[in-house]
Homo-oligomer: A and B are copies of this chain.
Amino acid sequence: MLDFSTDTLSPEEAQRLRSVFEPLTQSVRELMDATARSDADADTIAAAKAEIESATARLRSKQLEKTWGLRFTTEGEWLPWTNAVVGLRNPVAPPLTVVLEATDYVWSEFSLGAAYEGPPNHAHGGVCAMILDHVLGEVASNDGTTRFTGTINVKYVRPTPLGKLRAEARIVRTEGFKAYGVAHIADDQGVTIEAEGVFIQPKWARG
């Protein structure tokens, strides 16, 4: 069983923390892109590395022993702090902003840069699979029942270019603990990768 126990924050405190940590995280994403594309000389790299290490020491001066896990406001709103795909405080996350358009339909427009590359100038296929897993998981839990991925089948239609992309996910059928969804990622020329998945409410979470 997963540990969902956690502190809650007032909406105001959550907003304050977001205004502090979101710009920090965005600056780290810029640094990651620069790291992946830099062709600077060894002295410049050494100077950058020293600054990075200093920044890390500052951040670690007060840090959690483990991770943030799931955090909510006192109003019950989920705070996507450090989720690897949508986390506002997680530099690994592109991040996606997932729009919960309807109970059975979500979408996200996002951009993937150099740090998400697989084939030259194209997104890593695994990154695309990660994003499809995430948007399917969001739509599969959007009726108030938290469901986790059971299986996901991904079909690569053609290579997905880096740059602006759109992901969509729909629920096509719900049967008790299970929800069946379809999703895709598209560029401005159409769909590049499709997925279907079964999402399941874990036994320990069934009332």
Contacts and interface: CB of A to CB of B under 8 A. Distances in A.
A122 B119 CA distance: 28
A147 to B, nearest CB: 11
A76 interface: no
Contacts of A12: none
Contacts of A39: 62-64
A67 interface: yes
When all copies of this chain in the complex are counted, the total is 2
The listed residue with most B CB atoms (<10 A of its CB), out of A42, A116, A119, A129, is A129
A91 interface: yes
B56 A34 contact: yes
A172 interface: no
Interface of A: 2-4, 6, 20-21, 23-25, 27-28, 30-32, 34-42, 44-45, 47-49, 51-56, 58-64, 66-70, 82-85, 87, 89-92, 114-127, 129-134, 137, 148-156, 159, 162
Contacts of A127: 84, 130
CB-CB nearest 4 A-B residue pairs: A69-B120, A126-B130, A126-B133, A34-B59
A156 B148 contact: yes
Contact of A60 (B32, B38, B87): B38
A61 to B, nearest CB: 6
Contact of A91 (B66, B115, B133, B152): B115
B24 A35 contact: yes
B69 A40 contact: no
B92 A119 contact: no
